[in-house]
């Protein structure tokens, strides 16, 4: 599997530009060569579409409690399970298309 870090610098900058345009941020990829993105509220479908056009494929997503983190409000997501507002990160994981 090709790693995100194997992409050319130009490709990575195009991806980072798309993230910035959608108000999303990169998260910790865990060193596995995939791209982890902190998804901005209401931008999930747009993110998948934009990164798909840039050669990435959506693998998985998950919510993660904020804890002591203090991200900006546009990166905070509500908890449907516990009914608490703006208490979670929402991460989406992408890999490079083969």
Provide the pLDDT confidence category of residue 28 given band limits of 50, 70 and 90.
low
> How do the domains of the chain map onto residue ranges?
4-96
Of 53, 58, 59, nearest in space to 11 by CA: 53
pLDDT digits (tens, 9 = 90+) for 45-82: 999 999 999 999 999 999 988 888 888 999 999 988 87
Q: Is the pLDDT of residue 4 over 70?
A: yes
pLDDT band for 98, please (50, 70, 90 cuts): confident
Average pLDDT over residues 2-20: 93
Domain 4-96 fold is Alpha-Beta Plaits (3.30.70)
Output the six-digit token pair for 97. 């298309």
- Residue 15: CB atoms within 10 Å: 21
User: What's the predicted TM-score (pTM) here?
Assistant: 0.89
């Amino acid at each position: 599997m090709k790693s995100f870090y194997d992409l050319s610098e130009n490709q990575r900058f195009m991806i980072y530009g798309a993230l910035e345009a959608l108000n999303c941020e990169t998260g910790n990829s865990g060193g596995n060569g995939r791209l982890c993105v902190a998804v901005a509220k209401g931008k999930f479908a747009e993110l998948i579409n934009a990164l798909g056009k840039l050669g990435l494929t959506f693998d998985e997503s998950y919510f993660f409690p904020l804890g002591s983190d203090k991200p900006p409000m546009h990166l905070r997501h509500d908890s449907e399970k516990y009914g608490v507002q703006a208490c979670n990160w929402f991460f989406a994981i992408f890999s490079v298309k083969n």
